[in-house]
Amino acid sequence: MNVLPDDAVDRIAEGCRTIGQLCSAQGVQQWEVVATQSYGHSIDIEAGKISLAAGGGEGGYGIRVVEDGRFGYAYLVDLGSAQSAIEQARAIAKASPSIENFVLPSQQAAKEVAGLCDKSILSIGPEDLLEQADAILHEVSSLDKRATVVGGGLGVGASASALLSSEGIESSGITTSHGVGVQVSIDADGEMTSSYEGDSGRKKLAQVPECVSMAVDWAQKTRGPIEVSSNAHDAPVLMTSEGFSPLFSMVVPTAVRGDRLARNESFWSGKQGEVVLADDLTLIDDGRLEGGKAAGARDGEGVPTRRQTLVEAGRLVGSLWSTRDAAQQVAEGRIEHAESNGCAVRGGHQSPPHTGCSDLLMSSSKGGSSQEALLERMDDGYIVHSVMGAHTANPTSGDFSVTTSTILRVEAGQILGPVKQAGLSGNLAKALAHDVHLGDSVRVQGSYSSGSMHLPDVLLMQGLRVNPA
């Protein structure tokens, strides 16, 4: 059994050509057609048991038209409605403001990126997922008899995509995914603790991924909270990759978008060429990362992707641009010159492209340190493994205020025990600007904005306030 039908790519590519021919026949100045078709299998786990097995597919087409600098967008599922969708997109374009010199990108050669499709995933069926779910449940029980997988699931998927434009861009391909997420709880002796962990990627995961044991570990670590002062105070915080990534992804990818920098909507606006991060930190957006969760030969509007440095040795040296955002900011006089650098992303066929990151990597010229070394440097402080409310962080200022129930108290470089709950607040831009130390294990995390984050544990020595409950 194949997750994806053998003719999926050919079928949607032919559909793009059909819609493109209709656009040309109607005299549309410029047009771009994208198509996606996704299939997959999934297993849900609830209360320590497999609760639901499901499978299916979804997809459709998106049409962007550009006429006299105005653009309109419409989407459809059935090719039979292509004519009305084109008319809708053109009507929207006529009612939209014109952007001087805004045209769709032209064809440029692009090299393929390896590791985006694992053929072994294509043959994974529901029975294979049931076996994996059983293995995960067994592993949790073997690690701690008190532990139960109270929620989560696993699944595999394959997506066929295609893009065709009036400017000669034509591309298509297949990507795969395999993901596992588990919510593990320990309810014993009148106390319940819980931890959610997950892992996903383009390649087939191990039968029992490392995230399973991590979920059990944190459910254990947070048991038996110790008494601590409830006074709010400034303190160093070691944020694990899992705890740091929600805040980082909410704030930093937005801060390096060219359009937001130009509109003074980023805390780094006006700081090109200046030091904005600790001087050992480098930030790279790699649209060509082998096996990258958001990587590809072309971006969301067909421009070749690239690996680009955004922050080098703490200094802001780059930014992200898509075609329309670049043209608009130049036309409105906010910046003298800007052009797409392969940073257009899409949320699927139902939305037009916008500027975003792909696979964002943060590294230090000092390398990484073990957790023990980071704790020794911290001396007195906290370890935070997850946060709630990261989506409320302000991407313009960098300010945030979140809560956490997976927090450990550290004194003299030693973990004393868990804190029941705490508030955590500060300004991420300021906290990252100095005295930052990275761990030695980079893990891939999802993002609130776009793309994926490749982050280690991060010790922030200054700029954070902790308010234990």
For residue 424, what is the enclosing H or E element? strand 422-427
Closest CA to 178 of 204, 153, 158, 159: 204
Query: Quick one: pLDDT at residue 1?
Result: 52
Query: What confidence tens digit (pLDDT) does each residue in 351-372 have?
Result: 999 999 999 999 999 999 999 9
Alpha helices for 2-107 (secondary structure H): 8-25, 82-95
Query: Quick one: pLDDT at residue 104?
Result: 98
Closest CA to 58 of 43, 45, 40, 46: 40
Domain ranges of the chain: 8-221, 233-468
Query: What confidence tens digit (pLDDT) does each residue in 429-439 have?
Result: 999 999 999 99
3-state secondary structure of 337: coil
Q: What is the mean pLDDT of each run of 10 residues along the chain (469 residues)?
A: 85 97 97 97 94 89 98 96 97 97 97 96 94 97 97 96 98 97 96 96 97 98 93 96 97 96 97 97 98 96 97 98 97 96 94 96 97 97 97 95 97 96 96 97 90 96 92
User: What CATH homologous superfamily does 8-221 map to?
Assistant: PmbA/TldD superfamily (3.30.2290.10)
The CA distance from 441 to 455, in Å, is: 8
Beta bridge partners of 450: none
